[in-house]
Structure 1
Amino acid sequence: MANIYDDDRIFFPEDPELRVLGSIEKLAQWRHRNTGPAFIRIGRRIGYHGTDLNTYLNAQRVDPNSEAA
């Protein structure tokens, strides 16, 4: 599957590229619930490594052709 995010970049919740996943509030809820993509805590800042975002998105993939009817 193609990568959406640059593997060598750190993304921050306010970056427009993260809108694919949801709002800043949604990302905060996921962190609080220990769900969603892996994240990096840099002091009080939160970052997401591009490889972690791509891994998370690939894990969400659903292939309707492979499911038994």
Structure 2
Amino acid sequence: MANIFDADRMYFPEDPEMRVFGSIEKLAQWRHRNVGPAFIRIGRRIGYYGTDLNAYLSNQRTDPSTEVA
């Protein structure tokens, strides 16, 4: 699978690229529920490593050809 996010970059919830996950509020809910991509807390700021975002998206992949009917 192609990497969508730059592996050498830190992303923040307000970055436009993060809209692929939905709203800033949705990301906050996921963090509260301990679901979604891994994140890092820097003081009061939240950051996401590009490698973690790509890994999360890869884990969400569904291959319909392997589904059992």
Specify the TM-score bucket, using the shorter chain as the normaliser.
Answer: over 0.9
2:61 is matched with which residue? 61
Per the alignment, residue 16 of structure 1 pairs with 16
Identity over aligned pairs, percent: 78
Q: Give the equivalent residue in structure 1 for 2:27.
A: 27
Superposed displacement of residue 68, structure 1: 1.3
Deviations 1:18-41 (CA, angstroms, capped at 9, x unpaired): 000110000000000000000010
Q: Which has the higher helix share?
A: 2
One-letter amino acid of the counterpart of residue 24, structure 1: I
| Distance of 1:21 and 1:63 partners within structure 2 | 20
C-alpha distance in structure 2 between counterparts of 1:7 and 1:59, whole Å: 16
Q: Quick one: distance in 1 between partners of 2:52 and 2:22?
A: 16
Show the counterpart of 2:45. Answer: 45
Which AA in structure 2 matches 1:61? R
CA RMSD after TM alignment: 0.4
Q: TM-score, normalised by structure 2?
A: 0.98
Using structure 1 for the length normalisation, give the TM-score: 0.98
Gaps of 5+ in 1: none
Residue 37 of structure 1 aligns to which amino acid in structure 2? P
